[in-house]
């Protein structure tokens, strides 16, 4: 299994999620495939698409943009297709529009809802 993390401009995240769902690779039924799809709001030091996207963070003492971190777990054979979908739909026209990382999952343990 693999974990894919992608840092994406906020104005592209809805299209990325839609494309992942429409691909048929992601499911919500707990079956093997793309799962645990999460979107987490983050602040980034990436270059803004335009000045309206950036603001000054008092906590970081830096100019930042709000963006989304997409996380999902998938089977090894799905990685290339899922990364391709994310890369195509997250594109903003900038040279650097974000990053996609793929890491190995060493162990996965199901948290059961009831004790047997």
Write down the pTM of the prediction: 0.82
Range of the domain at 87: 2-40+66-104
Q: Which residue has the higher pLDDT, 86 or 108?
A: 86
- Specify the number of domains making up the chain: 1
Q: Is residue 52 part of a domain?
A: no
Buried b (16+ CB within 10 A) or exposed e, 101-115: eeeeeeeeeeeeeee
pLDDT at residue 65, as a whole number? 80
The tens digit of pLDDT for each residue in 59-88 reads 767 888 888 999 999 999 999 999 999 999
Q: Is residue 10 part of a domain?
A: yes
Q: Is residue 80 part of a domain?
A: yes
* Residues in CB range of 12: below 8 A, 6 or more apart: 89, 90, 91, 92, 97
Quickly tell me which residue has 């000045």 as its tokens: 51
The tens digit of pLDDT for each residue in 17-60 reads 999 999 888 865 555 678 889 999 998 776 666 677 777 767 76
């Amino acid at each position: 299994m693999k974990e894919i993390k992608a840092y994406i401009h906020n104005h592209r995240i809805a299209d990325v999620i839609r494309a992942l769902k429409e691909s048929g690779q992601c499911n919500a039924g707990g079956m093997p495939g793309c799962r645990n799809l999460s979107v987490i709001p983050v602040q980034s030091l990436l270059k803004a698409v335009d000045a309206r996207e950036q603001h000054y963070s008092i906590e970081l003492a830096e100019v930042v943009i709000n963006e989304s971190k997409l996380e999902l777990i998938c089977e090894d054979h799905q990685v290339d297709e899922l990364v391709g979908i994310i890369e195509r739909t997250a594109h903003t026209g900038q040279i650097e529009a974000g990053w996609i990382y793929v890491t190995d999952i060493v162990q996965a343990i199901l948290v059961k809802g009831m004790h047997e």
